[in-house]
Structures are given as C-alpha cells and as structure tokens.
C-alpha cells in the first residue's frame, strides 16, 4: 500500500514530548468514535419513536455483523500494509459452491465446511500471489475480485440457488439468547479474539512491525512473507464465515450477492482508525466504527431515507472523520510558530 501514499515527501513529525495519559485517552480516536456513535444513537432515538426497542436494536445489528466480521481480519491485513479487495467476491464464490452442494444433497455441517473452506482457499490463493510472486496486493485482489465472482457467474449465470436445509437457517436467523442473535454473538466473541491476538500477543506486535517498516521487520528476523500469507488466509476465512451467515440469512444465492461490500468493509476499517498506509490501528476502533455504520444505516432507514442517499452520509463520514484530525493537528502546529 505504501506506493499509494501521498505524504511520502512530507517530513515525519516527531513529537518532542509525550502527552499525559489521561489527556491522550480523552483525545484518542476511539473516544472520538464513541462520541459520534452516542450522538447518532441519541439523534436516532429522538427522531423515531420506534428506535428504542430491544427488538429493533437487535434488528439493526444484522446489517453490519457480516461486514464487520470481515473488517476484523481486514484491519490486521491493512495494518500489515496489504489490502484485499476480493472479499465480496469470495463471499459470492463460497455462497455459489454451497448452493451447488445443496443440489447434491449435502447437509448443514457439510455446507458450512464448504463455505468456510472455499473462503480459506481463496485467501490462500491471494496470499500466494502476493507473498510468493511479490505482486502488489491491490492489483492482485482487483484481479481475483473479477476472477472469483466471474467463476460464480460461469456456474450460475443469471440463475439462483435455493432450497437450503431449514437447519442451515440458524446461522443467519437464529437467536442465542433473547434478542442476541447468533450473528451478533459470533461477532462479539470473534472481536474479542482478534483484540487479544492483535494487542496482547507477539504475533500482533509483528503485524505492527511489518506495517511500519517491512524491511526492518525482515532484518529483525520476522518471517514477513509467512505472516502476510497467514493474514490473507484469515481474511479469506472470515469472508467464508460471512458467506455462510449471509447465505443462511437470505436463504438463496445469486452471483451478484454482496456486491460492493469490499468498499464498505474498507470504509469500516479506515473509519475505525486503522491507517490505510499500514502500521497503526486497533480492533476497538473497528468495532465501534461497525456499530456507527450500523446505527447510521438503520436510523436513516427509520426516517425513510433511501439507501443510496445513506451512502452520501457514509462517504462524507469517512472523509470528514479522516480530515478533521489532520486539520486540528495543522492548526495546533501552526499556533506556536
């Protein structure tokens, strides 16, 4: 990703003293996001009397959990300095192969294995091309994005796969306890695992090291290629899981399934404070960003705002949230001079 940077000519700003921990915590990205989330939540509950209801709050989680699951792995991948634009196409291919298996009478456990396995293999394919052949990930995954969804189109054409077994419906429609859906529970558990891996293990530190300076990381004895390969596999795996959930929720497969999700997933990750240039970011921000996007889509939906107009808000949110800290920093730097 570093080749797409625009600030490689600007000198890197080195802080001359460290801020106090409390102040740093108050000004942190996560707090800013949390404030935005709370603001949207309050605005929603004022705007619509139907918003503050356990079941409608539960419903709103369905429109982001699948994307957010992919965003967790994508965050790690982007922190390591790579990107995967093929995630939505992996969903399409996984879903198509699951649909195909249904025609041969494969049961629910088999379908889940096929869906997740396909995702893992697609991720491994991306990872091999990037790490073994040393190709830029943005181009490789633009290519595999066409390739994976293209295979779905070859298999399905303009057709549709239906007839998933009823037990398969649990993953996308079932509830674990009261209003907590299986999808939400899975997302929260997975987010906790990703938080632990990225922030509490040496594997996580290695991802940051690679993203900050992959040459230095290589000289420090890190297996850069191997770690990046694992991250591509993880992203593929999460896309496979998302494919299982989405297919189960919709109950049908078309080749255009999840079209355009790659951009929404990346928006979620960047909004969550992960630097698109690699080397910085955290899981907590991504989780809050996922909730922000879910809250906003759902709230605007309650107000009968069409989906396409919501995308204006998503786009502006992305640009403003990134531009504001840059403007503030510039103002603060300008003052002493």
Partner 1 sequence: MKALLKQREFWLLAVIVAAMWLVSLRSPGFIQPASLANILNDTSILIMLALGQMVVILTRSIDLSMAANLALSGMVVALLNIAFPGLPIPVLVLTAAVFGTLLGAFNGLLVWKLNIPPIVVTLGTLTIYRGMIFVIAGGSWVNAHQMTDAFKALPRGSFGGISLLSWFAILVVGLFYLLMTRTPLGRSFYATGINPTAATYVGIDVGRTRFIAFCVSGMVSGVAGYLWIARYAVAYVDVAGGFELTIIAACVIGGISIAGGIGSVAGAVLGAIFLGVVNNALPVVNISPFWQMAISGLAILLAVIFNARTERKRGRIILKQAEHAA
**Whose Cβ is closer to partner 1: residue 122's or residue 184's?**
122
**Closer residue to partner 1 in complex, CB, 145/191:** 145
* Site membership for partner 1, residue 314 (CB under 8 A): yes
> Counting contacts by CB under 8 A, is residue 37 touching partner 1?
no
Q: For CA atoms 321, 25, 297, 186, give the dihedral sign.
A: positive
Please select the residue that binds partner 1; options are 144, 235, 247, 253, rule is CB under 8 A: 144
Provide the mask over 152-181, with x wherever binding to partner 1 is found by CB under 8 A and - wherever it is not.
-xx-xxx-----------------------
Residue from 18, 215, 308, 337 touching partner 1 (CB under 8 A): that is: 308
Shortest separation between residue 199's beta carbon and partner 1, angstroms: 24
- By CB under 8 A, tell whether 4 contacts partner 1: yes
Residue placing its CB nearer to partner 1 in the complex, 110 or 136: 136
326 is an interface residue for partner 1 by CB under 8 A: yes
Asked whether 257 and 95 are in contact (CB, 8 A), the reply is yes
193 scored as a contact of partner 1 (CB under 8 A): no
- Counting contacts by CB under 8 A, is residue 143 touching partner 1? yes
Positions 249 through 268 that interact with partner 1 (CB under 8 A): 255, 259-260, 263, 266-267
By CB under 8 A, residue 128 contacts partner 1: no
Question: In the set 52, 160, 193, 312, which binds partner 1 (CB under 8 A)?
Answer: 312
**Number of residues binding to partner 1, judged by CB under 8 A:** 56
With respect to partner 1, which residue has the nearer C-beta, 88 or 283? Answer: 88
Residue 228 found at the interface with partner 1 (CB under 8 A): no
List residues near partner 1 by CB under 8 A.
1, 3-10, 129, 133-136, 138-140, 142-151, 153-154, 156-158, 255, 259-260, 263, 266-267, 270, 276-277, 306, 308-312, 314-316, 318-319, 322-323, 326-327
């Amino acid at each position: 990703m570093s080749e797409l940077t625009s600030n490689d000519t600007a000198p890197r700003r080195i802080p001359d003293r460290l801020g106090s921990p409390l102040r740093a915590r108050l000004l942190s990205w996560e707090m800013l996001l949390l404030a935005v989330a709370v603001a949207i939540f309050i605005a929603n509950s004022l705007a619509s009397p139907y918003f503050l209801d356990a079941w409608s709050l539960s419903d709103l989680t369905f429109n982001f959990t699948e994307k957010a699951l992919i965003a967790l792995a994508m965050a790690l991948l982007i922190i390591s300095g790579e990107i995967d634009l093929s995630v939505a196409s992996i969903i399409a291919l996984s879903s198509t192969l699951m649909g195909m298996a249904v025609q041969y009478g494969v049961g629910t456990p088999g379908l889940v294995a096929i869906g997740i396995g396909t995702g893992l293999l697609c991720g491994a394919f991306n990872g091999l091309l990037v790490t073994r052949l040393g190709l830029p990930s943005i181009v490789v995954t633009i290519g595999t994005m066409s390739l994976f969804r293209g295979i779905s189109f070859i298999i399905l054409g303009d057709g549709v796969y239906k007839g998933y077994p009823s037990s398969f419906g649990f993953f996308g429609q079932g509830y674990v306890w009261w209003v907590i859906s299986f999808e939400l529970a899975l997302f929260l558990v997975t987010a906790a695992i990703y938080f632990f891996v990225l922030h509490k293990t040496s594997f996580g530190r290695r991802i940051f090291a690679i993203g900050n300076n992959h040459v230095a990381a290589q000289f420090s004895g890190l297996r850069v290629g191997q770690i990046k390969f694992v991250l591509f596999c993880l992203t593929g795996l999460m896309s496979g899981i998302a494919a299982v959930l989405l297919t189960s929720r919709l109950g049908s497969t078309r080749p255009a399934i999840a079209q355009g999700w790659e951009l929404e997933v990346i928006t979620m990750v960047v909004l969550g404070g992960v630097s698109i240039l690699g080397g910085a970011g955290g899981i907590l921000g991504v989780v809050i960003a996922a909730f922000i996007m879910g809250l906003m889509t759902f709230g605007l939906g309650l107000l009968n705002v069409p989906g396409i107009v919501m995308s204006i808000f998503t786009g502006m949110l992305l640009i403003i949230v990134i531009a504001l800290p840059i403007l503030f920093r510039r103002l603060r730097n300008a003052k002493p001079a």
